[in-house]
Amino acid sequence: MEKIRIDDAKSYMGPADVKRPLTKELGTENVALNYYELAPGDSFAFGYHAHEDQEEVFYVQSGTVTFETADDPVAVGAGEAVRVAPGEFQRGVNEGDERVVALAVGAPRDAGETEVRRHCEDCGERTPNDIEMTEDRDALVTRCVDCGAVTGRFD
Ligand SMILES: [Zn+2]
């Protein structure tokens, strides 16, 4: 049995105030597990995205997350959970005033191809984006695949 303290896991740069990937720490073979804390305005994800091979379950422990989906937005409050199918586009954002604490479980562990879409000012529409580390390694940026413009910076 592997046991960890979530607070001991390193927090990663990104669109969430706190993102602690627990997959390696626990040595999971078949699922990916991430612990999140979202300040108001934060998101789980760099953009509206889909994982080709992986289904995801989000459990919200406190606060409320609003998921953009292909249909209407879905608000998920404390004590609720949602399942996202492989290939289904979504992005969860903390649109409330309260801090969000949530767990995300993905299976299989490796998500396969992940397509991220963000609004690009230069293209004037939502476009596919890549995520890359800055040269100084002090932030991650999202970059429009169509025109090369940086669409977001996360540190
Ligand atoms: Zn662009």
Do 53 and 75 sit in the same domain of this protein?
yes
Total count of domains within the chain: 2
pLDDT at 57 (0 to 100) = 98
Do 79 and 28 sit in the same domain of this protein?
yes
Do 87 and 106 sit in the same domain of this protein?
yes
Do 107 and 119 sit in the same domain of this protein?
no
In this structure, what token pair is assigned to residue 138? 């002090």
Domain hosting residue 19, numbered range: 6-112
Arithmetic mean of pLDDT over the chain: 97
Start-to-end Cα distance in the chain: 34
pLDDT at 83 (0 to 100) = 98
| CB neighbour list of residue 64: distance below 8 Å, 6 or more residues apart | 75, 76, 77, 78, 94, 95, 96, 98, 100
Distance from Cα 58 to the centre of ligand 1, integer Å: 30
Residue (of 87, 92, 91, 85) closest to 60 by Cα position: 92
Do 105 and 58 sit in the same domain of this protein?
yes
Whether residue 1 is contained in a domain is answered as no
What residues sit around ligand 1, an ion, with C-beta below 5 angstroms? 120, 122-123, 144, 146-147, 149
Do 149 and 83 sit in the same domain of this protein?
no
Q: What is the pLDDT of residues 127-154, one digit of tens each?
A: 999 999 999 999 999 999 999 999 999 9
DSSP string, 2-19: ----GGGSPPPPSSSSEE
